[in-house]
Structure 1
Amino acid sequence: MIEVELKGYADEEIFERVREKYRLVRREYHKDTYFQHPCRDFSKTDEALRIRVKRFNGHFEVFMTYKGPKLDKKSKTREEIEVELTDPDKYVEILKNLGFVEVLTVTKVREKYYVEKGISIALDEVENLGKFIEIETLVEDEGEIKEAVEHLRAILEELGVEHFERRSYLELLMERYRNGET
């Protein structure tokens, strides 16, 4: 499956429009730890490997996710492979033993909303970055990407999103750290 995702900068007005229009699924707390491959620079290959700890309603889930390079110029669409982990500390230990290095941890509060079948919106408050809105769906093949991007973009524009962002939270935070802003 291919994850088609668009992200935009948001403010409290956009958050309120989403809260009024769509059904809240749940509020989550994410701690995403990103890793660098020992032999290839993910920042140059546009890939990512992370372990996400997701807490909600007194429960938690942990996933390891590989994200491939972006597949189009307008969105964050990419192949995504995700597996649930039962013992994240052991997986981190395996990665480190294989030469992977922790790059950065991104912490955020996420509100997930149901938009329509197969489409969800996330309102994210990212530590040291601010407020963002993400909308996503899944498609079977690359031929479906353009139409999906146009549909998702129309939904975000209707909510008042004017500025879109293709970079990941990791990329945005790394840039801030390089510029001495955080």
Structure 2
Amino acid sequence: MIEIEIKGYADDKIFSRVRENFEMIRKEYHEDTYFQHPCRDFAETDEALRIRVRRFNGHFEAFLTYKGPKIDSNSKTRREIEVPLSDPDKHAEILARLGFREVMTVEKVREKYYVDKGVVIALDEIDRLGKFIEIEALAESEDAVEETVKRLKEILENLGVKHFERRSYLELLLERR
């Protein structure tokens, strides 16, 4: 599956516009722990491996996610493979025993909103970074990327987003160190 994602810097006005115009799905709390491969530098290959723990409405979910290199110069579009985990701590221990190194945990509060079939907006408040807005859609093939990116970017621009960001939250936080 290809995740087509565009992210921009946001403020209270943009958050308010989303809350007024779209239906909230739910509020979530994320802890994303990123890992470094023992033989390959993910910063150089533009890949990511993380364990996400997501909490919402008294529920808990965890996923192991691999994200391939970005495949589009205007967005954060990448191939993504995600599998559910029943015990994220044990999976993290397995990764550590295989030589993977924990890089950092990114914590965020996320509000998810329904835009259209297959299109979701996320309002993110990132610890130590601030407010962002992401819009996401999934595609089966790369043929749909260009048109979908154009459509998603237009939605964000109509909400008042002026500055877009292709770097991940992890990259932004590592740069701040």
Give the TM-score band, short-chain normalised.
over 0.9
Distance (whole Å) between structure 1 residues aligned to residue 88 and residue 31 of structure 2: 12
**Partner residue of 2:47?**
47
User: Would you say 1:160 and 2:147 are equivalent positions?
Assistant: no
Distance (whole Å) between structure 2 residues aligned to residue 167 and residue 126 of structure 1: 14
Distance (whole Å) between structure 2 residues aligned to residue 93 and residue 104 of structure 1: 15
The percentage of aligned residue pairs carrying the same residue is 71
**1:82 Cα offset (Å):** 0.2
**Partner residue of 1:105?**
105
**Partner residue of 1:62?**
62
C-alpha root-mean-square deviation of aligned residues, in Å?
0.4
Question: Which secondary structure state, in structure 1, belongs to the residue aligned with residue 167 of structure 2?
Answer: coil
The one-letter code of the counterpart of 2:8 is G
The one-letter code of the counterpart of 1:48 is A
Distance (whole Å) between structure 2 residues aligned to residue 172 and residue 4 of structure 1: 20
The count of corresponding residues between Structure 1 and Structure 2 is: 177
What pairs with 1:19-34 in structure 2 (closer than 5 Å)?
19-34=19-34
**Partner residue of 1:82?**
82
Give the TM-score normalised by structure 1.
0.97
Distance (whole Å) between structure 2 residues aligned to residue 73 and residue 18 of structure 1: 26
User: Would you say 1:144 and 2:144 are equivalent positions?
Assistant: yes
**1:140 Cα offset (Å):** 1.0
**1:59 Cα offset (Å):** 0.6
The one-letter code of the counterpart of 1:112 is K
**1:96 Cα offset (Å):** 0.4
**Partner residue of 1:117?**
117
The one-letter code of the counterpart of 2:49 is L
Q: Any idea what the Cα deviations from partners look like across 1:123-153, whole Å, max 9, x if unmatched?
A: 0000000000000001111111000000000
Structure 2: stretches of 5+ with no match in the other structure? none
The one-letter code of the counterpart of 2:149 is V
**1:89 Cα offset (Å):** 1.1
**Partner residue of 2:173?**
173
Question: Which secondary structure state, in structure 2, belongs to the residue aligned with residue 38 of structure 1?
Answer: coil
**Partner residue of 1:133?**
133
**1:83 Cα offset (Å):** 0.3
Distance (whole Å) between structure 1 residues aligned to residue 154 and residue 143 of structure 2: 19
Give the TM-score normalised by structure 2.
1.00
Dislocated runs of 4+, deviation >4 Å: none
**Partner residue of 1:180?**
none
Q: Any idea what the Cα deviations from partners look like across 1:23-57, whole Å, max 9, x if unmatched?
A: 00000000000000000000000000000000000
Structure 1: stretches of 5+ with no match in the other structure? 178-182
